[in-house]
């Protein structure tokens, strides 16, 4: 019995001590409104690949220690699931680009996060938390051929407030950035030159 207690203490005590010093995990979550825009007469297949679905950004402290793990992959998928059906006549989710051809769609959309940046008040000396995200958006034909490839950036900020934790503030700034992505994407999609030409040729 004494041995068991000793073993448990040997494992649990260091684990408890380490957990107090470890990085905080922030899973971005929020709700997104449906865009109030006209639909394009297109059927679209969307591919959320693993890099998007499992996207996690790690923020390091000034001493190089891991400070925050920010998981935003799922929230991006929820965002696209909210905005795409409002933008297109029909949207189907497929697991891979190759499946798009069999789905009988006009185009395949593949969104990806290229870069994620976080600015904390403790480092910037400003009274705001800021999130900046860079995306690469790809639109392919149903056969998987290139149609368009464009870069979008989104930005979100939230002011510092008393009694609001850093994790909550990071989440709030990220949600503002995701809304920014949704608004830019929804309003600029048909203006991307290659997409505009493709739509005109249909």
The residue among 104 and 159 lying less far from another protein, judged by its C-beta, is 159
Specify the stretch interacting with another protein by CB under 8 A; choose among 66-74, 106-114, 134-142, 179-187.
179-187
Q: Which of residues 144-173 bind another protein (CB under 8 A)?
A: 155, 157, 159
Measured CA distances, 197 to 28, 44, 64, 111 (Å): 36, 17, 47, 20
Provide the token pair at 12: 């649990």
Query: How many CB atoms sit inside 10 A of residue 118's CB?
Result: 20
Residue selected from 81, 168, 179, 190 as contacting another protein according to rule CB under 8 A: 179
Q: Which residues pair with 26 in a beta bridge?
A: 70
Residue selected from 103, 128, 190, 199 as contacting another protein according to rule CB under 8 A: 128
Determine if 184 is a binding residue for another protein (CB under 8 A). Answer: yes
End-to-end CA distance of the chain: 77
Residue selected from 12, 15, 17, 126 as contacting another protein according to rule CB under 8 A: 126
In the block, tokens 């990220």 appear at 174
The residue among 54 and 127 lying less far from another protein, judged by its C-beta, is 127
The total number of residues written for the chain in this structure: 202
Q: Supply the minimum distance, in Å, between the C-beta of residue 103 and another protein.
A: 27
Residue selected from 2, 3, 19, 38 as contacting another protein according to rule CB under 8 A: 38
Q: What are phi and psi of 116, to 5 degrees?
A: -135, 130
Which of 134, 113, 126 has its CA nearest to residue 55?
113
Residue selected from 14, 33, 102, 104 as contacting another protein according to rule CB under 8 A: 33
Report d(CA 115, CA 98) in Å as an integer. 26
Question: Is 46:78 a contact under the CB 8 Å cutoff?
Answer: no
Q: Which of residues 58-97 bind another protein (CB under 8 A)?
A: none
Which stretches of the chain bind another protein, using CB under 8 A?
33-38, 126-128, 155, 157, 159, 176, 179-180, 182-184, 186-187
């Amino acid at each position: 019995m004494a041995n068991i207690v000793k073993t448990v203490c040997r494992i649990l005590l260091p684990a408890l001590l380490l957990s107090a010093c470890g990085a905080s995990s922030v899973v971005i979550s929020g709700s997104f409104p449906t865009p109030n825009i006209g639909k394009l007469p297109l059927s679209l297949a969307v591919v959320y690949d693993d890099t998007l679905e499992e996207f996690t950004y790690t923020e390091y402290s000034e001493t190089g220690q891991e400070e925050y793990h920010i998981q935003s992959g799922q929230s991006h998928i929820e965002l696209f699931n909210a905005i795409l059906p409002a933008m297109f006549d029909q949207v189907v989710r497929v697991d891979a680009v190759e499946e798009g051809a069999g789905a009988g769609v006009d185009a395949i959309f593949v969104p990806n996060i290229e870069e994620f940046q976080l600015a904390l008040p403790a480092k910037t000396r400003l009274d705001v938390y800021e999130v900046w995200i860079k995306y690469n958006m790809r639109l392919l034909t149903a056969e998987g051929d290139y149609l368009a490839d464009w870069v979008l950036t989104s930005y979100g900020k939230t002011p510092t407030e008393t009694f609001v934790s850093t994790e909550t503030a990071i989440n709030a700034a990220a949600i503002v950035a995701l809304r920014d992505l949704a608004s830019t994407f929804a309003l600029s999609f048909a203006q991307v030159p290659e997409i505009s030409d493709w739509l005109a040729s249909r």
